Chain A
Amino acid sequence: RKEVEQDPGPFNVPEGATVAFNCTYSNSASQSFFWYRQDCRKEPKLLMSVYSSGNEDGRFTAQLNRASQYISLLIRDSKLSDSATYLCVVNTGRRALTFGSGTRLQVQP
């Protein structure tokens, strides 16, 4: 089993749609969780941290389910500019963060 697993997609959604991605992690002792965004051939950029109680930043909502060992990202009212690859990132017990392979989102007009 991979340490951090994501559905690669692509998710093709129309503008204005709501879309959700899930990510599972294998180490139940993991404490830190993040979502990063990566545009084609560019560096990853932090989108948001994920807190135990769940957190929201504008159209983006992140949730953590420790019992089932997954985190989720919900994007409401999708924009064309949301098209990117979304990376689930977890502290899996190593000394560096572990990145999932990413979920590709394509928002269509």
Chain B
Amino acid sequence: NAGVMQNPRHLVRRRGQEARLRCSPMKGHSHVYWYRQLPEEGLKFMVYLQKENIIDESGMPKERFSAEFPKEGPSILRIQQVVRGDSAAYFCASSPGGVDEKLFFGSGTQLSVL
């Protein structure tokens, strides 16, 4: 009964490199959400996806950030040309249904940009 799986747990990148964060939802869950948490701040919504569809990306920065949830495989959050301000904890959550459903979170990926 695996929960939401995120990897890597820790990711270190130098400025200008690319970061790829992966998330496998709980079995039976088709809704995936990405949230970002800056140090000493709350969780900020980034993007909501279902299989092969981006449902809501209103929280995504306009440039350098993209997300996908392919038919097969995990959801990927991709950050191109990382900057120091991208350093944060990135949490993925899944739910069996839509926005009124409880969210189950992965352990997060801590991204550090040097």
Contact = CB atoms under 8 A, between A and B. Distances in A.
A87 B41 CA distance: 11
A95 B99 contact: yes
A43 B33 contact: no
A43 B108 contact: yes
Chain B's interface size range is: 20 to 34
Chief secondary structure at chain A's binding surface: loop
Given A32-B99, A45-B105, A100 B56 contact: no
A99 interface: yes
B77 to A, nearest CB: 14
B26 to A, nearest CB: 13
Interface of B: 33, 35, 41-45, 48, 55-56, 58-59, 89, 91, 98-100, 102-108, 110
Interface of A: 31-32, 34, 41-46, 49, 87, 91, 94-102
